[in-house]
Amino acid sequence: MPADPHPASELELELTFLADRVPDEVRGTHPVRLVDVYVPEDRQVHPRLRLRQQGDRFELTKKLPVVEGDASQHHELTVTLDDAEFACLAAASGRRVEKDRYRVVIDGHPAEVDVFRGDLQGLVLVDFEFGDRADLESFVAPACCGPDVTQEDFIAGGLLAGRAYAEIEPELDRLGYTRLDV
């Protein structure tokens, strides 16, 4: 697939929750395997660049917060890549994360349920995206959701990448999370 020379930019409004349980809605739904690679490789830096392989689709995304310190709003700039471009750029970093993403509707809200694989096995997150700030602010989390972790740095994809479950377990324990092996 040829690369799209025109990047797409959008505003993303989202909330992220630790799952109290795997939502019933994922049963019978086929996930998409995502492989994310974050740049730079330095684990002390919160990366803004993400390479993503989603099946046979490849992209590079730069996420910038609208307001520094508020992880619920981002401007995203995305460029489509071909497989050779992805492979070349992905070789620059070992900060990777693999997860199965289930796109479902929970209590009438579109959601993405991310079941992490590999070194982060046991972590399950539920993301909700919103069309406007009013929808985000009036949202009531469904019963399958545990703590809101939108503003928790340790749970951001770029800071999870390259880590193991045991490394983030103290933070998860602090929030009362129970490991979910799916």
pLDDT band at 1 (very low <50, low <70, confident <90, very high): very low
As a whole number, the mean pLDDT across the chain is: 90
pLDDT at 7: 56
Evaluate whether residue 179 is within a structural domain. Answer: no
Rounded CA separation 156/21 (Å): 20
Residue 170: CATH number of its domain: 2.40.320.10
CA atoms within 13 A on the CB side of 4: 12
In the predicted structure, residue 87 carries a pLDDT above the cut 90: yes
Question: Which amino acid, residue 76?
Answer: E
Q: Provide the number of structural domains found in the chain.
A: 1
In whole angstroms, give the CA distance from residue 1 to residue 34: 18
Whether the per-residue pLDDT at 5 is higher than 60: the answer is: no
Is the model's pLDDT at 9 over the cut of 70?
no
What 8-state DSSP symbol labels residue 101?
E
Distances (CA, A) of 81 to 39, 40, 93, 98, 119: 16, 18, 17, 19, 27
- Whether residue 1 lies inside any domain: the answer is no
In a domain, 182, yes or no: no
- 90 membership: H or E segment, kind and range: helix 83-90
Q: How confident is the model at residue 67 (pLDDT cuts 50, 70, 90)?
A: confident
Distance CA 120, CA 168 (A): 9
What local confidence, expressed as pLDDT, does residue 58 receive?
A: 97
- 3-state class (DSSP) for residue 153: helix
Residue at 44 is within a domain: yes
Domain-located, residue 47: yes
Classify residue 90: in a domain, yes or no: yes
- Structural domain of residue 12, as residue ranges? 8-174
Decide if 153 is inside a domain. Answer: yes
Q: Are 106 and 26 contacting, i.e. CB atoms less than 8 angstroms apart?
A: no
